[in-house]
Structure 1
Amino acid sequence: MPPPVLHPVGAKRFWPRSFAHRLTAPLPDVRALLRVAREGSLRPAPGTLGDVARLPCEPGPLPEPRPGETAVTWAGHASWVLRLGGLTVLTDPVWSRRILGTPPRVTPPGVAWDDLPPVDAVVISHNHYDHLDAPTLRRLPRRTRLFVPAGLGRWCRRRGFTRVTELDWWEAAELPSGDGRRVRFEFVPAHHWSRRTLWDTCRSLWGGWVLTCVGSGPRLPQQRVYFAGDTGYGHWFSEIGRRCPGIDVALLPVGAYEPRWMLKPVHTSPEEAVRACRDVGARVMAPMHYGTFLLSAEPPMQPLERVRAAWAAAGRPRADLWDLPVGASRVLGR
């Protein structure tokens, strides 16, 4: 497979007006939206809300990875604190209590903002409000490196960020790490879409990120983390596995999947997420995108229960399912 196309960090680039041709399924039409409104089927049934008290939330101290180790900490929803190659990277950081059009979060951020080490970089998967949270980004220094999908750089620069790198699918950029190597940020496809207002549908791209320590330096094991962002199930997972072999940990969404007739093209079910982990060739799967915001109709605990059952049914080792409570961590390589 060809290596990713490398681009300089922070380079300004020009993009097409729309990325709608990258959609792998049509967006919901007016009839679908009217059906959802009529059925009231985008929130859990009131009788299931008692599950909220059972959602696992165990904030703990951030681990200090040694050279050759990668630490992952789930802050909730699609927000992770990744520490690899001497860098601290946030994924889709949302520390706000509320996001537009959604009830308040049901579990607090798993890491207090003041407990974060200096953030070296942020990766954004797409511009939906539960993944691109302007109030959280405002808490970061404006020189923080942002890695974002094609077409989203202007939004970031208008908010004062000066080190913004926009990438297309299968493109990458690198930062020097703290152990003599480099951390590669590669943008990969997803089955999703983008919109932040009524007028910008698919004006920016959507996708996931593969982070890899590469290059010379101490003889340390290469470690590779795949952050899927928000995605439905489809052919891109196998392609990611072919182009990015040796993924150690796949951070995969398992929630916001009901009603299935509407959300199947853009949100994996727990069973599909387990298949996606197989497709990308990852040894370890860490579920996410549940237990923080109640975005859809499934009971709050159902994603966790179903992903555990699907993992067992697939014959995968129980120790390789990192079904972390919000705030918990694991260290790869320890």
Structure 2
Amino acid sequence: MSYTIRPEALPHVGRPPVRRWPNGFADRLTAPLASFLEVVTVVQHGGFRTDIGDVDLIPVYRSKLPRPTGTEALITWVGHATFVLQLGGLTVLTDPVWARKIPGIRPRLTPPGVAWSDLPPIDAVVISHNHYDHLDAPTIRRLPKDTAIFVPANLARWFTRRGFRNVAELDWWESASLGDVTFSFVPAHHWSRRALWDTCKTLWGGWILTSRHHRVYFAGDSGYGHRFKEIGIRYPDIDVALMPVGAYSPRWFMKNFHVDPDQAVQAFLDVGARHMATMHWGTFVLSGEPLLAPLEETRQSWTIHNLDPTTLWDLSIGETRTLPT
């Protein structure tokens, strides 16, 4: 498949164009990263320990992946930040993680909501940033090498070293098109690191996917801040915002880079979406809040804001919702 990157207008097929990026993106941070002492403090005080006794209450619904009819779009939550998006004639994966275990944390609490064997051919993958719970090497290796991959600035080499031939890396506010779908990379209040020596060497962000009939916002990971309103201004008429609601405790440690449920709802209001789908909870233990708190607190915030309950897609793992035209 071919695609073009805008605004640079660099058409290419196969091997990506050579992009010259700065040595790092620390200047894009909107808050300082945690110091080593802060990390030690939160670990010593059990800030990442969570009782998983409620794991059986996490809703999981596994069935055959439905296929869209006509011009409808389907949104299926696989778990954590992984969705199967079927829109504009394409099947797209967001931050795909099918692995049972990722480095540094306990195995996943719940199975992927869609079996890998049940996936249709994947046309494209979008990656929000390079943290292990969003960029999983074992899962990526299962994809055909000609899959279209859309990644943040300076992350293409990670994929081309693994044999992928169709990789586009974008800066904030850049867009690329594949078939009838436009992929736009947008800012987030977050950071990147995959090893001790590569902090903020690659960019981070979210994605807006726009087809002829639908617009979907995948937020990736983000703290709360002004960038949500900027996204809503630049990309009006978002049908659904896929928003993280988990991994927010202890708050003093997480607040700069992970929204809590109430902030997720406010971010949804800022971008002006019609629906919000919850994600980034119920799969991996990354923080200290109770397992079910992200969902419960999101529902409470929805009620406090007097929002239409039908516009909150508090998805079960494996659940599919439809965006009609």
* TM-score using structure 2 length: 0.95
Q: 1:13 corresponds to which residue?
A: 19
Cα pair 1:5 1:172 within 8 Å, conserved: no
CA shift for structure 1 position 5: 6.1
* Residues 272 and 70 of structure 1, relative CA distance in 2, 3 Å threshold: same
Distance 1:8 1:172, change over 3 A: farther
Residue of structure 2 equivalent to 1:234? 225
In structure 1, what is the equivalent of residue 55 of structure 2? 52
1:150 aligned residue: 153
User: Using a 3 Å threshold, how does the CA distance of structure 1 residues 6 and 169 change in structure 2: closer, same or farther?
Assistant: farther
- Cα drift, residue 66 of structure 1: 2.0
Most deviating of 295-304 and 57-66: 57-66
Distance in 2 of aligned mates of 1:72 and 1:55: 19
SS at match of 1:173: strand
| Structure 2 counterpart of 1:246 | 237
**C-alpha distance in 2 between matches for 1:67 and 1:12:** 38
8 A Cα contact 1:186 1:211, kept in partner = yes
Which residue of the other structure, out of 289, 295, 300, is the alignment partner of 1:298? 289
**Deviating more after overlay: 321-330 vs 60-69:** 60-69
Provide the alpha-carbon RMSD of the alignment.
1.2
Give, in angstroms, the shift of residue 14 of structure 1.
Answer: 1.6
Moved more, 110-119 or 314-323: 314-323
Q: Does structure 2 retain, via aligned residues, the 8 Å contact 1:6–1:173?
A: no
Q: CA deviation at 1:316?
A: 1.1
* Residue-pair matches, total: 317
Whole-angstrom distance in 2 between the partners of 1:6 and 1:25: 33
Match of 1:183 in 2: 181
Q: Partner of 2:38 in structure 1?
A: 32
Tell me what 1:210 maps to: 208
Partner residue in 1 for 2:311:
320
Q: What's the secondary structure of 1:140's corresponding residue?
A: coil
Whole-Å separation in 1 of the counterparts to 2:36 and 2:211: 45
TM-score, structure 1 normalization: 0.93
Specify whether residues 319 and 5 from structure 1 end up closer, same or farther in structure 2 by C-alpha distance, changes over 3 A only: farther
Q: CA deviation at 1:68?
A: 2.0
Query: Does structure 2 retain, via aligned residues, the 8 Å contact 1:12–1:165?
Result: no
**Which blocks of at least 5 consecutive residues in structure 1 are unaligned?**
177-181, 215-221
Alpha-carbon distance in structure 1 between the residues aligned to 2:126 and 2:9: 16
User: Does residue 88 of the first structure (1) align with residue 99 of the second (2)?
Assistant: no
What does residue 47 of structure 2 align with? 41
Could you tell me which runs of 5 or more consecutive residues in structure 2 were left unpaired when the two chains were aligned.
1-5
1:227-254 deviation line (CA, Å, top 9, x unaligned):
0001111000000000000000000000
Q: Is the contact between residue 89 and residue 121 of structure 1 (CA under 8 Å) also seen in structure 2?
A: yes
The match for 2:195 is 197
SS across alignment from 2:18: coil
